[in-house]
């Protein structure tokens, strides 16, 4: 059972454009939603995270939008750069649970063309 669904699977954007990646979750107990960025041959690295008490969080060119009623959240990358080319994973966690696991989506391969 896939608890976090991520789309699209791959995305090609021109330099300077906006990249948008969407995720949907099922477990209403999830209360922590991070995005991780992974370059080839490297481990994932935290990009930005949000909790459901806010609807949007912005850090530089990266913004998370969160819709609690729809159980959806998305990552927007403004002014996309070739250096942003990587795989992006959304994730979710029930911070009050006893399992402590982070549930990841399947990932989106972003390619930013120069």
Q: Using CB under 8 A, list all residues that contact other proteins.
A: 4, 6, 31-32, 34, 41-46, 49, 89, 91, 93, 95, 98-107
CB of 84: closest distance to other proteins in angstroms? 19
Contact residues for 51 (Cβ-Cβ < 8 A; gap 6+):
31, 32, 33
User: Rounded to the nearest whole angstrom, what is the least distance from the CB of residue 57 to other proteins in the complex?
Assistant: 14
Residue 88 vs residues 34, 53, 108, 111: alpha-carbon distances, Å: 11, 23, 5, 11
Nearer to other proteins, 69 or 99 (CB): 99
Using the minimum distance from each CB to other proteins, give the nearer residue, 2 or 79.
Answer: 2
Strand partners, 22: 7, 74
């Amino acid at each position: 059972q896939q608890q976090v669904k991520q789309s699209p699977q791959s995305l090609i954007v021109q330099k300077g454009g906006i990249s948008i990646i969407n995720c949907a979750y099922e477990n209403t107990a999830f209360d922590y939603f991070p995005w991780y960025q992974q370059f080839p041959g490297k481990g994932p690295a935290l990009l930005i995270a949000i909790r459901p008490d806010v609807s949007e969080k912005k850090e530089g060119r990266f913004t998370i939008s969160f819709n609690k009623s729809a159980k959806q959240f998305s990552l927007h990358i403004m002014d996309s750069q070739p250096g942003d080319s990587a795989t992006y994973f959304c994730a979710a966690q029930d911070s009050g649970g006893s399992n402590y696991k982070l549930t990841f989506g399947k990932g989106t391969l972003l390619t930013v063309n120069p």
